[in-house]
């Protein structure tokens, strides 16, 4: 059998995910400040035994992404559930149309999305092969990722750290760090990483945010420290830990004895 060839058609396939690590898979293993990781769930997904359910927030983001890519008609065709019986868009996706109209009114925002769309690159980081797929790649200039968020300015409380903005809360600094390094490996250039963000508020907010290099360096160092464990897990050398809090862990839970109230509180 020949070597696996990564393409846009198979990028999200189980075979591709086994061959290459991605930022989303990494965050499934490790988590972020905003979402607990679960090694057990990450491996269940990797081996095709579990699939995360789509939520409306993810679908709205995908709707706007497909507009930017120029594949919105195909998205609508493949997702008929976004329409009401009368053929009009459901409320969430009518909001997505409002989001699109807002970003179209801003030439600078649109210029950040005018690069090469969904560019795939691969590289090697800390003992594993990685894949990335960039929303907007401006060769020699910048890497841009589009984010559709509930809010761009709401900060979330993190124990022992205080309030964090959405970028580090959801691990988008990790994405920027990995994307920047993979592009550097392929081109020799260390490009700035931008988040072109738009909110789903009544009046959508728009911002183009450059993640400073010190934050990207810190995120890449954290990835390096976590990778030996992830490589062992992907190779089947160690057993995964269960978070016992996610859908997958709840689905597979088998009770053998009662637990104490203290144990219940400790898991929260």
Q: For Cα atoms 192, 196, 198, give the angle at the middle one, nearest 5 degrees.
A: 160
* Alpha carbon separation from 103 to 28, 44, 116 (Å, rounded): 30, 38, 18
What pLDDT score was predicted for residue 267?
64
Is residue 91 included in any domain, yes or no?
no
Asked if residue 69 is part of any domain, the answer here is no
Q: Is 0.85 surpassed by the pTM of this model?
A: yes
pLDDT in tens, 120-156: 999 999 999 999 999 999 999 999 999 999 999 999 9
In a domain? residue 88:
no
Distance CA 187, CA 116 (A): 15
The verdict on residue 79 lying in a domain is: no
What are the tokens at 107?
């030439």
Q: Is residue 5 part of a domain?
A: no
Domain count for the chain: 1
**Residue 232 counted as domain residue:** yes
pLDDT tens digits, 183-199? 999 999 999 999 999 99
* 36 located within any domain: yes
CATH code of the domain covering residue 123: 3.90.320.10
**CB contact set of 193 (below 8 Å; sequence gap of 6+):** 142, 143, 144, 145, 175, 176, 177, 179, 180, 210, 211, 216
Structural domain containing residue 217: 14-53+106-266
Residue showing tokens 């065709």:
77
């Amino acid at each position: 059998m020949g070597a696996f060839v990564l393409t846009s058609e198979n990028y999200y396939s189980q075979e591709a995910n086994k061959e290459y690590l991605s930022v989303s898979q990494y965050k499934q293993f490790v988590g972020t400040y905003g979402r607990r990781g679960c090694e057990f769930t990450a491996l269940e997904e990797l081996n095709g035994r579990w699939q995360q359910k789509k939520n409306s927030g993810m679908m709205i983001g995908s709707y706007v992404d497909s507009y930017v890519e120029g594949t919105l008609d195909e998205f609508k065709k493949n997702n008929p559930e976004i329409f009401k019986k009368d053929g009009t868009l459901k409320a969430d996706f009518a909001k997505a149309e409002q989001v699109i109209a807002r970003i179209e009114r801003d030439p600078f925002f649109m210029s950040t999305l005018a690069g090469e769309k969904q560019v795939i690159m691969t590289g090697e980081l800390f003992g594993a092969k990685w894949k990335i797929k960039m929303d907007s790649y401006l060769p020699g200039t910048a890497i841009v990722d589009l984010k559709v968020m509930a809010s761009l300015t709401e900060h979330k409380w993190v124990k022992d750290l205080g309030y964090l903005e959405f970028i580090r809360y959801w691990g988008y600094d990790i994405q920027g760090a990995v994307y920047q390094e993979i592009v550097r490996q392929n081109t020799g250039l260390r490009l700035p990483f931008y988040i072109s963000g738009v909110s789903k508020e009544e009046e959508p907010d728009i911002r183009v945010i450059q993640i400073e290099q010190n934050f990207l360096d810190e995120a890449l160092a954290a990835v390096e420290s976590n990778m030996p464990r992830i490589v062992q897990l992907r190779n089947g050398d160690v057993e995964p830990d269960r978070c016992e809090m996610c859908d997958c862990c709840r689905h597979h839970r088998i009770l053998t004895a009662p637990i104490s109230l203290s144990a219940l509180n400790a898991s929260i």
